[in-house]
Amino acid sequence: MGTFAITGSASGIGAATAARLERGGHRVIGIDLRDADIEADLATPSGRDAASAAVDEQCAGRLDGVLVAAGVGPPFDPEVMASVNYFGAQQLLADLRSALAATGDAQAVAVSSNSTTTQPGVPDDLVQAFLDGDEDRARSLGRELGDAMTYASSKTALARWVRRHAPTAAWAGSGVRLNAIAPGATMTPLLQSGLDDETFGPLISGFPVPTGGFGEADQIAAWIEFMLCDDGARFMCGSIVFVDGGTDALVRPDAWPSTYEM
Alpha carbon distance 54, 42 (integer Å): 13
Q: Give the pLDDT score at 256.
A: 64
Q: Give the pLDDT score at 184.
A: 94
**Which of 219, 67, 76 is closest to 158 using CA atoms?**
67
For the chain of 262 residues, list the mean pLDDT of each consecutive stretch of 10.
97 98 98 98 98 98 98 96 98 98 97 94 97 98 97 98 98 98 90 83 85 95 98 96 95 71 44
Phi, psi angles (nearest 5°) of residue 27: -95, 130
State the CB neighbour count (10 A cutoff) for residue 233: 19
Q: Is 246 left (phi over 0), alpha (psi -120 to 50) or beta?
A: left
Catalytic residue among 86, 87, 130, 151: 151
State the CB neighbour count (10 A cutoff) for residue 56: 18
The CATH number of the domain covering residues in 3-185+220-242: 3.40.50.720
> Distances from the Cα of 246 to the Cαs of 93, 185, 188, 208, in angstroms?
28, 11, 19, 9
Residue pair 240/157 in contact (Cβ under 8 Å)? The answer is no
This prediction's pTM: 0.95
Beta strand segments in the chain, E: 3-7, 27-32, 38-39, 65-68, 106-111, 176-183, 186-187, 215-216, 240-243
260 is catalytic: no
Q: Is 195 left (phi over 0), alpha (psi -120 to 50) or beta?
A: alpha
Give the residue extent of every domain in the chain.
3-185+220-242
Residue pair 2/229 in contact (Cβ under 8 Å)? The answer is yes
Q: Nearest 5°: CA angle at 90, between 124 and 170?
A: 110
Residue pair 93/66 in contact (Cβ under 8 Å)? The answer is yes
